[in-house]
Structure 1
Amino acid sequence: MKQNKIIRRTIVGSSAFAMAVSLAACEDKRPEASMFSSVEQCKENAPEGAFDWVSQCNEAFKQAEVEHAKLAPRYDSLEVCEAQHGTGKCGEPEVVTGSGGGGSFFMPFMMGYMVSNMFNSGSSSSSYSGRPVYSSASGKSYFTSDGKKAGSSFASKPFKVNRSVTKTPSLSKPPKVLTKTSVKRTGGFGSTRTVSSRSGGRVGG
């Protein structure tokens, strides 16, 4: 009888340990992110325990601007661009980026930027990255330059995102210039088919 009690205790103890290990393994380790419509809004909404937040906001915005200039979605007409991002939310490159450079295509304005923490918030080793976000046609969701959903509102509480959403694509590969035909074929901005088909050149006719 005593031996049976010892065996039962061992089994219960082992099960509890296994459950604890399982829960630890299932802990959501995805990076946290927040979206802001401006650097000022970012500075006013520091997450709890954030390290050197003002500098992080500034640096993340600079990163977002660089990506925006190089990787913002491109369309062959204003009509096609606004159909994907909303009326009044597109323009020629020199207007959208403020760089003064021209181009035979149209781009959406950067509506804000996503700041994500790739490490542990509150640590002196924390490092935040920034990516530009663009409006969907409905204005109810925001997406990264490569069409991955970033969120639905600015200055909200930090939320978990897949690591792929925080990763900036290669800046050396400009996106394809999309036409009305190619947008229809790929499903439009933000669709999985559009995300998987991005590379340099022009699509459709």
Structure 2
Amino acid sequence: MSTPDNTPHLPRRKRSARLSLAMMGASAFGLSACGQPEQTTDVSFDSPRSYQSVDECVAANVYTQSACEDAYASSLEQVPRYTSIEQCEAEHGEGACVAPTEEQAQMATGGSGGSWFMPALMGYMVGNMMSRTSRGATSQGLYQEPVYRNRQNQGNWNAATNQASQRISQRQQTMRNQATQNRQATSQRSGFGSRSSARGGWGS
């Protein structure tokens, strides 16, 4: 598949706060109730799909247009940013970096532009995430990963998507490890409470 010359285009729009939280995993780790943090105890993922544009994502008829647009915007937020093109190219290779368009800058930072640079975006990957909390609640959201140029893939789409898949795998493992720690912490707290109750009974 050939590398597109243009980055995906979509109208400026305010993303759904609910979907953004789900995509970034914040809903899995940051919710609280009654002053007690609600921790994630299980996380599962499906296999992400890669797209070279928002239009391609919509045409695949897997996600809604809104989800495709939101995932693209969140992917832009995750693209590495540098203060100079020299700094960017030192990391990603000569000719691999560009200044963001005004639209990309708006979606990535919420600003109208700025003197920063990023590796040329080639597309993005989108997948589903299901999480379960310590209170038994479940939530489903999207996760995403930008696909961009660097010195290892030299702008090759397949190589770039492989690298994006590796980054997703690392993220998934981190989230699973965190979920395991949270599950163990929840179990320990439950056990401590039971032991405390038992000691109270012994002394009565």
| TM-score relative to the length of structure 1 | 0.41
Structure with higher Rg: it is 1
